[in-house]
Structure 1
Amino acid sequence: MPPPDPLPGTAYGLSVVSNRLPPGAPGATTAEHSSRAEAGGQLPDSSCISPSVLRVAIPTPLRRLFDYRPSQAPPPDGWQPGIRVRVPFGRRLVVGVVESCRHDSDLPLAKLKPVEEWLDASPLPADWLWLCRFTARYYQHSLGDTLHQAMPVLLRQGRPVAGRMREQWRVTDSGRGPGDERLKRAPRQAELLAMLRQHPHGLPTQAVVAQSFTREQLLALVEKGLLERQETPLTASPQPASGHLLAEPSLPLKREQAAALAAIHERLDHFHPCLLHGVTGSGKTEVYLQLIEAVVSRGRQALLLVPEIGLTPQTLARFRQRFQVPVVALHSGLTDNERLDAWEAAASGRAPIIIGTRSAIFTPLSRPGVIIVDEEHDGSFKQQEGLRYHARDLAVARAHHHGIPLVLGTATPSLESLHHARSGAYRHLRLTQRASRHAPARLELVDLRGRPRQGGLIPPVLEAIRGTLDAGHQVLVFINRRGFAPTLACHACGWLADCDHCDARMTLHRQPPVLACHHCDKRRPIPDACPACGSGDLRPLGSGTERTEETLAALFPQVPVHRIDRDSTRRRDAFEAILTEVKRGEPCLLVGTQMLAKGHHLPHVTLVVVVNADAGLYASDFRALEHSAQLLVQVAGRAGRSSHPGRVLVQTLHDDDPHLRLLAETGYDALAEQLLAERRAAGLPPFRFLALLRLESPREDAANALASNASAALREWLQARGLGVDCLGPVPAPMERRQNRYHLQLMLASDKRSQLHEACAQLTAWLEATPEARKARWSLDVDPQTLS
């Protein structure tokens, strides 16, 4: 989260900076039928009844807008910014969005191509358009591509902004009267009418047909005036007849929960950013539920962001169990029709509660009331490809724009959010007690050095697992590595299974048996003999989830072993099915990656084992220690959440590491304070602002030449302007060769965000105008969360 850097039109450091090319900069010329314009150019609020020119945002990486002549027949309410149009672009027709209506163009009007057709009678939602403009400006991205990425797939293809409808049949006033003479010779119609009289709000066609009635019988009753046919939106059901918002009563709050909720209630009609910092199991979700109850009862909408699709089903179930109003979901697991249904229900206001993953931040809201980001520290809120936005940071900007509360909930705050809370920019609300009577389990460091291992686990840990299972409890074994083993090695000559396309080892999988690269997805069969020396003594090196699962299944054959990782949960609803079985409470072993560490309530788990805590502690990324500590605390929080206390065993080769020992003995807050002090001394976020240029090319010399020229041009420009921006690099990426392409990085750092954005705009303008850059791939990442 960017720290405060107040500028006009900013939200706590999310500054509004134009991408207009600097005067005289390379690339400040117009292409055919296009006009130079900033990527995030403002959309005027007023319509233009008979404009001569429509400036259209096209889904293209080019950071400019394109001018077209209006079609002969305008939309019913005239041309307005935000209307989708189908326009010719090169040799194809594409769907774009009108950015503004004008009477002039940089090109002669006769040379402009006409719009083929308009697709919307009225503009797309205004709050959605504002957020897309802001996102394009802040992340230095094409406005056309931002709009394209932010809308559902079917809208990108030109479908109307309308959710699917369902056919509903309801008895008319005439149908509620005494017996109709016309039905004496139609007994089945009489039975159908009697059945529908028991449902005053009507029934959909599917429910009627399920009772062995036919559509012809329904239409016959309509013709007699006894029934009426209605169409209702498929996604959102009507409000409950009782008028009660809740389907079940709220839970009583503890003192700290009540105080936090009261603090948020104080300013429900104002921008009020709050960091809800509560230990795992402290009841943050109950605070969310009661806050949303207050918001929805005022006729407003609530948007809840969760980090992973795996969390969405359990969160949806809990919210739908509590509320009698429509609760819709938005995530990548939906079909295109389901996504449009939910998007439209939120935009129209029929859905008061919206729950979704990262991309749900772009959901339009007709009556926004609160935005909640659960597990705000989680890295999955950052999009790592294409439009590299951070959903948490956009939530800050959006809440500020709407003037509504923002709640960032977590047990392990990101250092950016914690810094904001310490500086007073965010209100810091603490929950220090669990809902259960047991305190969070402390980390117990277990030294791995010189001890034999089975599936990555040493004898004392295996004994602890056995004791927990014998007591009738469940065990979670956390290993953040998929596959059977990290790689395959020859015991005779030392050969390792390297990827041919990347500077990485291939992971050994047993289900199915294959060597796979998790970076480029290249796969090849497991060799029968060493390719280097011909020896047949090939052995797996290290442990992954598959190997640990196999070992535990052999050691504890009497209990089921459930493996949860990206490979085992590819099938739709597979993750939810496993969690449902686990929650029955029977003794079992859970073996999983960080998918299990994020907010899941596993009441019967009393022992958590971390197979190897060292993997992320010594990475080259300066955020590695912060992320590793957050992950350890989160996975430890799965233990002891119910009636029995929990225990956490952390295997490590470095039990004397000062950071790891501080985390184990004092907790995350103490480590975060130390990391903040180190970041301040090193001039790193949240005390400085970064942007990362990534370059890649299949030719190493071409990548090096382009990176060197770009850095030289930028340094010369910075020196001439006298801006306080440091240009660091270029340097090879942590994994220099990936997918047979060479990767380099150039980092920009500044004490002032506005100056950083000015330098970024200049850099992207130079790259767009340089022919050599067209032969390579490049991307600019503002506020990068990882340097890999």
Structure 2
Amino acid sequence: MTTPAYSGLGPALTYVHERPLEPGTLVRVPLGQREVLGLVWEAPGLSLEGLEPGQARAVLQVFDAIPPLDAAWRGLASFAARYYQRSLGEVALAALPPQLRDLQAEQLARKLKRLAKAAGSSTKGGHQPDAANSNAGAPAAESAADNSAPPELSPEQAVALQRFQADDRPALLFGTTGSGKTEVYLRAVQELLEQDPQAQALVMVPEINLTPQLEARFRERFARWGVVALHSGLTPAQRLDHWLLAHQGRARILLGTRMAIFASLPQLRLIVVDEEHDPSYKSQEGARYSARDLAIYRAKRESEGRSPGHCRVLLGSATPSLESWRAAEIGRYLKLEMPQRIGGGALPRLRLVNMNHQPKQCVLAPALLESIAERAARGEQSMILLNRRGYAPVLACHACGWKSDCPHCSAHAVFHKIDRTLRCHHCGHSARVPYACPDCGNLDIAPVGRGTEQLEEQIAGLLADARRADGGPIRVLRLDADSTRAKGSLEQQLAGMHEGEFDVLVGTQMIAKGHDFRRITLVASVNADGGLFASDYRAPERLFALLLQAAGRAGRDASFVASQGTAVELWVQTWYPEHPLFAALAQHDYPAFAAQQLQEREEALMPPYSFQALVRAEARTQEAAQALLNLAAQAGEALPGREHLTLYPAVPMAIQRVANIERAQMLIESDSRPALQAFLAAWQEQLQLARSRPEAKGVLRWAIDVDPQAI
């Protein structure tokens, strides 16, 4: 049975059972005074000879009601644990539905009977069962007709699909926003499932808010196949039901976020990774895995011992990650290109607003404000992007210099005007807004900076005298993590936007990707400069992707734009209009931007031309956190692969203190991935030993992040 690293029990524990158990079988076993879920694993050469009677405890229950997790799934878990420097138990058990860990074998058997009964009734009634109130379940009657006929493919879509089917390599679908990438995904899934009556497909999206939209499209198209979702927005019961349906092969299509890469799909033949560039595919806690990279490995693992290309991977993006772009450039991936929008719609024209020439303290440039009002009067919509939620990043007293700092973090508490609170977005601390400065008593404390709450309020005020097409006042909608917290609120607000109830959409990056708004003809970014000069070398790549993805929300309905006679535009307010990033953005020229960035990366020997790992330590004091990392670095001088590595000194993290815990990090670079992996595997012991040194007293935990996405 596998165990997590922090348990201190070693990589696996030995139990006995009256009969041999197949690897991958789920069991319940005693651990101390508790009963826990375990997973039977291969144990080559294991012998029970020499064990005293009773020394190895007995397995309590065997989950015979479901098939064992297959060799391909176990291979994926083993690789992820090995590559991302975590224990096998942490990866394998964390990949299972949480509710499964609490069930007895007989409880699981009853749940499976209920699912089977629901599937049977759906077959008789001609509709899918409502698995755990989730509107997802087993397939309905195979003879049921699909709800809608697929649209005719454009020539570019047809060529991309044909080339994908004819080549075994992982494919990168580089298609401009609005070029119809989703339809290519749908057709690839459809052709697979029609050819193989057992095949399963996994379709991944970066964020939960995109899952319901994609799920609706798949359900509309594939009424006769089981479609289930897997993401953190589901209840524990829903996650378990969906996992079981996929594991049993009853669900042929699984949609999900990054956690779905570990779903058990015994007949997996296709993996689609939409918006493959998105940082959300990289986990930032536990095993810090990249779901995109694991998709490539999983497809290769599923194809071992079978025909080439038995399981295929299709990565899609209008702004691919530089790692994937280079892999396609050198031929390791198949590059599929779709540069034209469906229906011949034009891409937005860039209009840079030089803020050096605008009135002081202006929120939106007068010309931009006028354009938004004109479009609303014609029945068009506008979208304003500000990637900062709350009303203001900080409250400040200009008399004494007091700022609304979080008492537990080295960060400011954000001012939320709606409920008059100061909230830390790092530790969750919340406090009421003081009536006066806590330090000097000054009543004139004021917000500094701007968040989406304030922008919504200011735009509504600036457009108070403008009118929409029906003569009513202009309506502004805000979409961010705060406004969509209530269950169902995101879907409801998006529906209002699609139906034309709102004229201006204000939001964070959650509005910039994946949404198919038909009436938006103007997109504006009001604070893009932060990504131009950030310390993280990936910041320009992320900014370019965000702006291009946001621009793609405009002009998606070519017939609507033509009937309006409107110019589709992307406005960017900036203090640095001469920055070279904007030259590539004006041409929607991702290849040119990627070439420039890759040249800089190659000259600096940065990824993808080198390989990195970050080691992070958390402790009661900053000195202890840094001491752990520096002591371990000194002890690792003779370890395998060290000659190919550069270990930088430990430094505080950008947000140094979170929830009263000090944080430090050390960057490791190498020109050899095998050398980096060999060093990290051997270095774990040195980190553990360094923790016992007096200088590192107070260290709470440490973690290795392989291929970090943020430094």
TM-score by length of 1: 0.81
**Counterpart residue number, 2:257:** 357
**Counterpart residue number, 1:185:** none
1:575-614 map, 5 Å? 575-614=490-529
Query: 1:92, CA displacement in angstroms?
Result: 3.0
Q: Show CA shifts across 1:239-258 (max 9, x none).
A: 435365x3322111111111
Looking at structure 2, the residues matched to 650 and 320 of structure 1 have their Cα atoms a distance apart, in angstroms, of 37
SS of residue matched to 1:242: coil
Change (3 A) 1:97 1:278: same
Query: 1:680, CA displacement in angstroms?
Result: 0.5
Letter in 1 for 2:536: D
Deviates more, 1:583-592 or 1:770-779: 770-779
**Counterpart residue number, 2:575:** 653
1:759-774 map, 5 Å? 759-770=679-690, 771-772=692-693
SS of residue matched to 2:639: helix
Letter in 2 for 1:360: A
Asked if 1:708 corresponds to 2:603, the answer is: no
Asked if 1:97 corresponds to 2:39, the answer is: yes
**Counterpart residue number, 1:632:** 547
Q: Show CA shifts across 1:666-697 (max 9, x none).
A: 63321111000000011111011111100111
Looking at structure 2, the residues matched to 243 and 60 of structure 1 have their Cα atoms a distance apart, in angstroms, of 49
Query: 1:587, CA displacement in angstroms?
Result: 4.9
Aligned length: 671
1:7-18 map, 5 Å? none
RMSD of aligned C-alpha atoms?
A: 2.7
Query: 1:516, CA displacement in angstroms?
Result: 1.2
1:481-560 map, 5 Å? 481-557=388-464, 558-560=473-475
Alignment partner of 2:137 out of 236, 240, 246: 236
Change (3 A) 1:722 1:782: closer
SS of residue matched to 2:38: strand
Alignment partner of 2:242 out of 330, 336, 342: 342
Query: 1:661, CA displacement in angstroms?
Result: 3.4
**Counterpart residue number, 1:302:** 201
- Contact 2:119 2:138 survives alignment (8 Å): no
Letter in 1 for 2:576: H
Question: What residue ranges of structure 2 are gaps of 5+ in the alignment?
Answer: 304-310, 465-472, 562-566
Change (3 A) 1:164 1:627: farther
Letter in 2 for 1:731: V
Change (3 A) 1:663 1:166: closer
Query: 1:622, CA displacement in angstroms?
Result: 1.1
Alignment partner of 1:156 out of 95, 98, 101: 101
SS of residue matched to 2:407: coil
Change (3 A) 1:455 1:136: farther
**Counterpart residue number, 1:3:** none
Change (3 A) 1:265 1:704: closer
**Counterpart residue number, 2:564:** none
Change (3 A) 1:95 1:168: closer
Alignment partner of 1:728 out of 641, 648, 655: 648
**Counterpart residue number, 1:623:** 538
**Counterpart residue number, 1:278:** 175
Query: 1:745, CA displacement in angstroms?
Result: 1.1
Letter in 2 for 1:407: L
Deviates more, 1:274-283 or 1:402-411: 402-411
SS of residue matched to 2:232: coil
Looking at structure 2, the residues matched to 529 and 377 of structure 1 have their Cα atoms a distance apart, in angstroms, of 45
| Structure with the higher fraction of residues in helix conformation | 2
**Counterpart residue number, 1:676:** 598
TM-score by length of 2: 0.89
Query: 1:593, CA displacement in angstroms?
Result: 0.4
Asked if 1:317 corresponds to 2:216, the answer is: yes
Q: Show CA shifts across 1:637-660 (max 9, x none).
A: 111111215211111111122233
Letter in 1 for 2:627: A
Looking at structure 2, the residues matched to 319 and 408 of structure 1 have their Cα atoms a distance apart, in angstroms, of 18
Deviates more, 1:105-114 or 1:625-634: 105-114
Query: 1:60, CA displacement in angstroms?
Result: 4.6
SS of residue matched to 1:776: strand
Letter in 2 for 1:361: I
**Counterpart residue number, 2:87:** 142
Q: Show CA shifts across 1:180-229 (max 9, x none).
A: xxxxxxxxxxxxxxxx9xx992599999xxxxxxxxxxxxxxxxxxxxxx
- Contact 1:711 1:746 survives alignment (8 Å): no
**Counterpart residue number, 1:373:** 273
**Counterpart residue number, 1:686:** 608
Looking at structure 2, the residues matched to 570 and 253 of structure 1 have their Cα atoms a distance apart, in angstroms, of 38
Looking at structure 2, the residues matched to 331 and 290 of structure 1 have their Cα atoms a distance apart, in angstroms, of 23
Alignment partner of 1:776 out of 686, 700, 704: 700
Asked if 1:201 corresponds to 2:102, the answer is: no
Change (3 A) 1:496 1:458: farther
SS of residue matched to 1:717: coil
**Counterpart residue number, 2:470:** none
SS of residue matched to 1:396: helix
Letter in 2 for 1:537: D
Change (3 A) 1:81 1:373: same
Looking at structure 2, the residues matched to 447 and 284 of structure 1 have their Cα atoms a distance apart, in angstroms, of 34
Looking at structure 2, the residues matched to 108 and 713 of structure 1 have their Cα atoms a distance apart, in angstroms, of 37
Asked if 1:85 corresponds to 2:27, the answer is: yes
Query: 1:151, CA displacement in angstroms?
Result: 0.5
Change (3 A) 1:168 1:783: closer
Identical pairs, percent: 41
Query: 1:111, CA displacement in angstroms?
Result: 7.1
Asked if 1:758 corresponds to 2:699, the answer is: no
**Counterpart residue number, 1:66:** 12
Looking at structure 1, the residues matched to 546 and 127 of structure 2 have their Cα atoms a distance apart, in angstroms, of 46
Deviates more, 1:85-94 or 1:673-682: 85-94
